[in-house]
Amino acid sequence: MSETLERKRVLSCIQPSGMLTLGNYLGALKNWVKMQDEFETTFAVADLHAITVRQEPAKLRSQIYSTYALMLALGLDPEKSTMFIQSHVPEHACLAWVLSCNTQFGEMARMTQFKDKSAKHADNINVGLFSYPVLMAADILLYKPDFVPVGADQKQHLEIARDIAIRFNRLYGDVFTVPDAYIPKTGARVMSLQDPEKKMSKSDDNLNSFVAILDDKDTVIRKFKRAITDSEGGIYVSEDKKGVSNLITIYSAVTGKTVPEVEKEFEGKGYGDFKLAVGEAVADELAPIRERYNKIISDKGELERLFRDGAERAERVARKTCFKAMKKVGFVV
């Protein structure tokens, strides 16, 4: 028991906005599974964040179920981790309001993702789209994590959460833990198969640019066969060979081989053989996940039991933090 209490806390959340990709898996989700044995872990489906962009209700509901089921299929264990759906814990929205009143307009206006998303969704530039980093701060601070796993595109959000926590603690006393970024050594940055200058994304209009975790073997191999390389030949990592370098990164991540080992394995071979080998390796890695997912998603009753239990566990922690913050501000609680 004392060993458990001494473990550092880690929290991470993922939006249910479409099917998760190979990039999500190799960049973050695969590491979440490993973290369970090292840290006290909390994972959430961040469904409140999804509605900053207009959603079709039935589709959103389905994606929330799918995302939670996929987290289980990947190997996240409800016995080891607290796993829940964000909207099932009302303290997230409650604390977000308290923190909003302790966050400056100028801080939100500088957030780069607001500018990017406003450009993409010019017909729906809503207040939630502007202020959602405060909700993200509430997501984090409620559970007092020591670390938050972040990629390069999320560092700014963690920084604003830290700034809000420090300001609140300075004004009202010690309430929140100020978390640090956790950047796993083994997390692979996976780029688009069609445009290796940009990150692989599930929102890409070109379906051949990403591999979904639940794609079947034929689809995975077909997408890798169509992956962009170059006309030079030679299978090695180079700044001038971004497409080939991306495929080497992916193959290395799923096989456990080092980059030099991969380069040696395919020395003298053509791109056709190489892309087929990468596709087969990825398909073999994802097949067991897809099988487990299909079994889990077919039992809605058990799935609901698990995320309801997870929400109860999460709320026990969140309620204490939220009430403490509210009492410090001056509310009668």
Where in the sequence numbering do the catalytic residues fall? 117, 199, 202
Nearest to 318 by CA among 96, 68, 154: 96
Length of the chain: 333
On the CB side of 165, how many CA atoms lie within 13 Å of its CA? 28
- What is the longest distance spanned by two Cα atoms in the chain? 73
CB atoms within 10 A of CB 122: 8
Cα gap 311→318, rounded to integer Å: 10
CA 278 to chain centroid, in Å, comes to 24
Nearest to 235 by CA among 223, 225, 248: 248
Q: What is the DSSP letter of 271?
A: H
Q: How far apart are the first and last CA of the chain?
A: 32
Cα gap 101→113, rounded to integer Å: 21
* Sequence letter at residue 150: V
Q: Kindly give, in sequence order, each residue whose CB lies less than 8 Å from that of residue 273, ignoring residues fewer than 6 positions away.
A: 266
Nearest to 72 by CA among 289, 314, 285: 289
Side-by-side strand order, sheet with 9-14: 81-85, 40-45, 9-14, 147-149, 180-182
3-state secondary structure of 109: helix
